[in-house]
Structure 1
Amino acid sequence: MPGRYRAANGSLKPTRRHFASAIASREGLVVPRDPSALHEVVDGEFARSHPGQFAVGDIQTDRGARVTVISLYGICDRMLDSGTMYPEATLHRAISDLTPIFQERASDYVLVAGDLNLYSYSDGTIWGRRGMTVFERLAAYGLDVLGPFRRPDEPRLERCPCPDVDCRHVITFLYQSNPKNRPHQLDFFLATPRLRDRRRECWADPDLEWPQHSDHRPILTAFDV
């Protein structure tokens, strides 16, 4: 992540949290794919505009399938005049960086996961509509939102800000981990069609104590590949 960030008052301050996206494996099954420097990338390679924003790895399954996993984070920029934060610019750069991977002939099984800092719906504001352009662009590469979602027989998420009466969102984010704050879903799995067809489960961590550990709730999924 960048060494500095812009505070709400417009001043630049040292980054308080040094973190990055990652892919971990207990069994050593992940083959990491490292991007090239942006100014050195050549045809067929992928670059990174924001070091640490995403991690890419290939998993070879026991059945011989290759699953490409991408851990992606929506880095927020801040407007100088209004102080408004927006993640879609860095996410669009990441999509451009990752386009060679999305277009590979062997890319039938691609999974994108992470905290995108975006809603998966438009709330009617210009910021909501701009955020939807990220999901629309990913969908152009066959990557649609997989979940997690509430079951059809479950009531809508209480106090969810989305305008959909058939809301199926699950809470994955609480600002400052405070249950009094409005719940949001900012964390998602997106998958290509063949991988979606092989989904077994997709859910959010049922542990009700998750806000004690983080303001983001873990999400999980399983596939038969």
Structure 2
Amino acid sequence: MEEELATKIVCWNIAKRHEPWRELVAMDADVALLQEAGQVPPDVADKVDTGDREHWDSHVWNSEWYSGRFKNLSDRWSKVVKLSDRVKVEWFKQVGQISEVAEDEIAVSGIGTIAAARVTPHGGLPFIVVSMYARWIKPHPSTNSRWRVGYSDGSAHRIISDLSAFIGDTDPSTHRILAAGDLNMFYGATHSNRLSLTDRERTVFERMDALGLEFLGPQSPNGRQASPTPQGLPEDTKNVPTYHTAKKKPETAENQLDYVFASRGFHEEVKVRAMNEPEEWGSSDHCRLWIEVGKSV
């Protein structure tokens, strides 16, 4: 019997840096789900396949409404990247928020928040992958808000609405969807968490669950936990830090911002862990999430 190998996927916010691209091609992975990805450095351009520009760049389908206000819509994007010939990748082109799309399209409502593709392993069943980046949105000027950065749950809900197009039945077992990325929020945060809009963020995870997308963490023991428990999380939290600020480093990282979800039923074929030990963290402020889909036989 021919051995069916697991499909190896890396999810990573690379903060528009070049070095993560070089680390990706050295990992023997099949697919990367990237957030805040800039241009591919020339020295690895022949080792990765980012698909057509239409699958990640909102400039392609947006009008020129931003002319005179912004130099461009964004300089960093969510991308699905093919890293090996062990899989076939069919990217979905982004189009505006129309109600009926073609077979190779996805309607997108946020800028730089999502990229999607169909991945087919050799000898295996295809599944949909979605790279998610819940970018920050500043409150409307009329609010006179003191939220300097803004809120991320608005982008997260746009992402959920967009990926909902791949859900055509109330039975989650009829879907094979893997969605992963940086949601810029804290799973299980308490109301004492000064960095969290706790009730609003909770609705994101609840909505994923309502769509039949199982929360896969990663959670401890599939990653190193912060010690002591960060402020604003319950003592029994299983969160694992996936991000550190400029004032910290992998050893002192506290907060988990990156998560993985998969269709209920399909999720039993998916294994996830955070590569958040200091020696394996990588060259971004986010660590990598290592995802395996399928079972070896």
* TM-score grouping bracket, smaller chain normalisation: 0.7 to 0.9
1:169 equivalenced with 2:239 (yes/no) = yes
How many residues are paired up? Answer: 214
Alignment partners' CA distance in 2, 1:35 and 1:16 = 14
Structure 1: how far apart are the matches of 2:157 and 2:115? 16
Deviation at 1:101, TM superposition (A): 0.8
1:50 is matched with which residue?
110
TM-score (norm 1): 0.80
- Against the structure 1 CA distance between its residues 2 and 176, is the aligned structure 2 distance closer, same or farther, given a 3 Å change threshold? farther
Please give the alpha-carbon distance, in whole angstroms, between the structure 1 residues aligned to 2:286 and 2:225: 22
Distance in 1 between the 2:92 and 2:58 partners? Answer: 22
Separation (CA, whole Å) in 2 of partners of 1:155 and 1:178 = 15
Shift, 1:174, TM fit: 0.7
1:196 paired with 2:267, answer: yes
- Partner SS state of residue 168, structure 1: coil
Please report the RMSD computed on the Cα atoms of aligned residues, expressed in angstroms: 3.2
Which structure 2 segments of 5+ residues have no match?
1-56, 60-68
The correspondence for 1:36, drawn from 95, 100, 104, is 95
Displacement, 1:134?
Answer: 0.8
Q: Distance in 1 between matches of 2:70 and 2:227?
A: 36
In 2 relative to 1, CA 107–177 (structure 1 residues): closer, same or farther, beyond 3 Å?
Answer: farther
The 1-side partners of 2:264 and 2:93 are apart by: 25
The two structures have a TM-score, normalised by structure 2, of 0.62
- 8 Å contact 1:108–1:195 — kept in the other structure? yes
Larger CA deviation: 67-76 vs 170-179: 170-179
Q: Give 1:223 deviation, angstroms.
A: 2.2
Q: Which amino acid in 2 is paired with 1:111?
A: L
For residue 246 of structure 2, give the secondary structure of its aligned residue in structure 1. helix
* Alignment match, 1:6: none
Indicate the structure whose relative CO is greater, using CA pairs within 8 Å and at least 6 residues apart.
2
- Find out whether 1:72 has 2:105 as its counterpart: no
Q: Which amino acid aligns with 1:82?
A: S
Structure 1 Cα separation of the partners of residues 225 and 157 of structure 2:
33
Q: Establish whether residue 103 from structure 1 lines up as the match of residue 173 from structure 2.
A: no
Inter-CA distance 70–107: structure 2 relative to 1 (3 Å threshold): farther
Instruction: Give per-residue Cα distances to partners, 1:145-188, cap 9 Å, x unaligned.
Output: 20211129x87643423432222111101112623976100001
Is contact 2:220–2:238 with CA below 8 Å preserved after alignment? yes
Letter in 1 for 2:188: Y
* CA-CA distance at 1:70 after TM superposition: 0.3
d(CA) in 2 for partners of 1:53 and 1:121? 23
Task: Give the structure 1 partner of residue 152 of structure 2.
Answer: 87
Change (3 A) 1:17 1:43: closer
Deviations 1:190-213 (A, max 9, x none): 1112222113x3211145156772
Q: How far apart, CA to CA, are the structure 2 residues paired with 1:212 and 1:176?
A: 15
Give the percent of matched residue pairs that are identical in Structure 1 and Structure 2.
23
- Give 2:199's aligned residue: 129
Which portions of structure 1, spanning 4 or more consecutive aligned residues, are displaced by more than 3 angstroms?
A: 12-17, 43-46, 104-107, 154-157, 179-182, 209-212
1:150 equivalenced with 2:220 (yes/no): yes
Q: Which amino acid aligns with 2:209?
A: A
Q: Could you tell me which of 185, 191, 215 is aligned with 1:118?
A: 185
